Amino acid sequence: MNQKTLQFIAAGTVMMLFGITMVIIGTINDFLTSEYMVDKLFVGFSASILSAGILIGSFTFGSIVDRFGYKWIMLLGILMVIFGIEGIIYIHSITVIPYFFFLIGLGGGITNGVTNVVVADIYPNNTSSYLSLLGVFYGVGAFGLPLITSILLDCGLNYESILSIIGVGLFIPFFFVLLLKFPNAKQSKTITIKQYLKYFTKPTIILIGLFLFYQSAIEAIIPTWIPTYLKDIFLVDYSKALYAITVSGISITVARLLLSQILKKVSSFTVVLSSLFITIFGIILLEISDSFIIGLTAIGIIGLGLASSFPVMLDFTANKYPENTGTTFSIVIGIALIGNILLNLLVGYILQIFGINKLNLILGLFVLIMTALLFTIKKNLIKT
């Protein structure tokens, strides 16, 4: 097995940590409420703290990677996630739990960013293809944690034992990365704050960031609001409506596995444009569907359509700024996460006022904006 393949597998195992980070609150929600007797407000606050950690980690990792390389910052991110999870178990103090969630989020934001940059660096000619494959590892982490937790709970283990086992298991990617050699740093000098802020004036960076701003928002809106939509529109139990999250996640993961091959043969622009049409078709089908099963099918189609945007947009960024991939990835991923947080909140406010039946209209509007941005990005990339 060659060095690049080993580096990619290592990056993939680390990317699973980001998947774990994104579902950790939901997975241990019951543990928090039973062990510490906290209410929904505390859980919501912890989720916000986790998001803040992810956002800060995403905005800060890039310039560090460009100056000092990948290995040590990746190891630091892994340790943050491990210590955050173990701290929640063993430090029995409700006052410090939000700090541990912040640590998990910070480590997750770092690992997500660094692994994407590593893959873009080692596969410069097939970046979008390999970034799609990297996204499969994210799906394994995101679905693996709740699945393993459920299985082990059914086997009679408690949350402390399960999370202890998972924490120990997370040292596998740590030692994998520790023993491997990764590409050297691209910059000999640390980027200044002025230089960093200057990237926010570059049209390509802002356009790609805005595209992912809406993309990330849709990925957040679906697990947040689609179960409620299905419950109210099709009059099913909420437990059944939750299948939508699984369907969406599996469809995105499977699509990224397929895209790892498709993007080697079809142009990135064509793939993303086709994906946006698929997303629109899924939204229309969801709007006109008259049964729960068709609704779930529509959500699966939407998931297929969402899969290509992140790997392709990061590929565009890497091709445009090959010497500052870490910094530019940091900015566009950070902008995407801002959209994830802000638009999800805005949509919640709109749905509260106008009703859950307006959800498809909002999703359709976001996809149309993304389509306009895609053509603008293509024009800007060709021009520059």
- What percent of the chain is predicted at pLDDT more than 90? 47
Q: Residue 219 — pLDDT band, cuts 50, 70, 90?
A: confident
Q: Any idea where the domains of the chain sit in the sequence?
A: 3-180, 197-383
What is the predicted pLDDT for the residue at 366?
96
Higher pLDDT, 89 or 6: 6
Check if 3-180 and 197-383 are the same fold.
yes
Question: Nearest Cα to 77, choosing from 32, 108, 54, 55?
Answer: 108
Answer whether CATH 3.30.470.30 is correct for domain 3-180.
no
Look up the CATH number of domain 197-383.
1.20.1250.20
What is the predicted pLDDT for the residue at 384?
54
- Which residues neighbour 84 within 8 Å (Cβ) at sequence distance 6 or greater? 100, 101, 102, 103, 104, 107
What is the distance between the alpha carbons of residues 348 and 342, in angstroms, rounded to a whole number?
Answer: 10
What is the predicted pLDDT for the residue at 383?
60
What is the distance between the alpha carbons of residues 304 and 320, in angstroms, rounded to a whole number?
Answer: 27
Q: Residue 331 — pLDDT band, cuts 50, 70, 90?
A: very high
What is the predicted pLDDT for the residue at 303?
92
What is the distance between the alpha carbons of residues 328 and 335, in angstroms, rounded to a whole number?
Answer: 11
Higher pLDDT, 243 or 280: 280
Q: What is the DSSP string of 58-90?
A: HHHHHHHHHHH-SHHHHHHHHHHHHHHHHHHHH
pTM of the model: 0.87
Average of pLDDT values for 88-95? 83
Average of pLDDT values for 215-238? 87
Question: Does residue 34 surpass a pLDDT of 80?
Answer: no
What is the predicted pLDDT for the residue at 92?
77
Average of pLDDT values for 31-53? 80
